[in-house]
Amino acid sequence: MNSLERVFSTVKGDPVDRRAFSLVLSLYGAKLTNCPLSEYYASPEKYLAGQRAVVELADPDILFTPFALPLEARAFGCTLKQFDTAPPNVIRPACKGLSDLAALHAPSVTDDPGLRYLVEATRLLAHEFGGDKPIAALLTAPMDLPALLVSIGEWIEALLFDADKRDELFRLASDHFVALATSFFEAGASFVVIPVMFANPQLLTPKLVGEYVIPALARAFSRVPGPIVFHHGGNPLVSHLGLVRDLPNVVGFALDHRDSFAQARAAVGEGPVLLGNLSGPHLPGLSPAEAYVRTRKIMSALACDPRSIFCTSSADIPWSTPPETIKAVVAAVLDAGQE
């Protein structure tokens, strides 16, 4: 089996030759190719070269497009800060607050350089690897983008107290979300991965999540022309999987490293794929031997679940992670598959 056959057999619940796996190594490609991040997050060709190096190092079954969600916020007018060993981040929102929403305009996917970069990187990955490996495209959830555009505090204020501003922001974010997701699929993405924070009852009131957030997400997801993986967004997901398991077009859930596969499976039933749950951001703190043991433990937990895929959770595997640690994770996955 090649990776494409392995992953999609897992999705269907068919037999596979070994457990499919992936690691979120979108940033790490820059380290492997010694590419400055200012170039890596602007040149699709540089990104492709980085992912070639990732394949040479780890040969994961799924490749990711750039995990650089702030580029979407920049397209609306946010100011970013560049880092030497981490993706860019938002340091100034696009407008001064809810009274300044008239300054916000939905960007054009074809005209904005950052959005063009994301789509073209997807196209290059799909052209070179799409016949062998699924391409997972990352983009910002329509419930989360407004927090970048007006600040987290202003977005929560709109959610709780200002329905008109809430609806206006969500309309802008949803239209952008659907346009970018559609462009990713047209470029060859196999599925899109959506980290979602503002559907978590630990962050918002359960009443607000149930009565407003989930229906709004359902409307946005129903407009996406392809499969979606719902990502935990940095928080444990199992406790509220019941709220999101029936969202349109969702074929899988990426779990937090603190989530239990067994509990997640009980919550969603047999159909969806589950991915996770080794913490990528914690890998620099593990020796290769520790990473190997921890991965083997996770693989044992997955042994009875044919619709699960081993993957690192949360954000990118950090720049400071030794290659030997990454190789140890891969060795543990492959060794488990031979038993």
pLDDT tens for 147-187 read 999 999 999 999 989 999 999 999 999 999 999 999 999 99
Give 102's pLDDT tier (boundaries 50, 70, 90): confident
Instruction: Please tell me the distance from the alpha carbon of residue 120 to that of residue 118, in angstroms, as a whole number.
Output: 6
Instruction: Please tell me the distance from the alpha carbon of residue 24 to that of residue 3, in angstroms, as a whole number.
Output: 16
Statement: residue 337 has pLDDT above 80? no
Close Cβ partners of 161 (under 8 Å, ≥ 6 residues apart) = none
- Average pLDDT of the chain is 94
> Under DSSP, is residue 80 helix (H, G, I), strand (E, B) or coil?
strand
pTM exceeds 0.85 for this model: yes
The CA–CA distances, whole Å, from 107 to 78, 104, 177, 179, 211 equal 12, 9, 11, 10, 29
Q: What is the pLDDT of residue 212?
A: 85
Instruction: Please tell me the distance from the alpha carbon of residue 179 to that of residue 174, in angstroms, as a whole number.
Output: 8
Q: What is the pLDDT of residues 1-45, one digit of tens each?
A: 999 999 999 999 899 999 999 999 999 999 999 999 999 999 999
Q: What is the pLDDT of residue 338?
A: 64
- Rounded to 5°, the CA angle 135-137-141 comes to 155
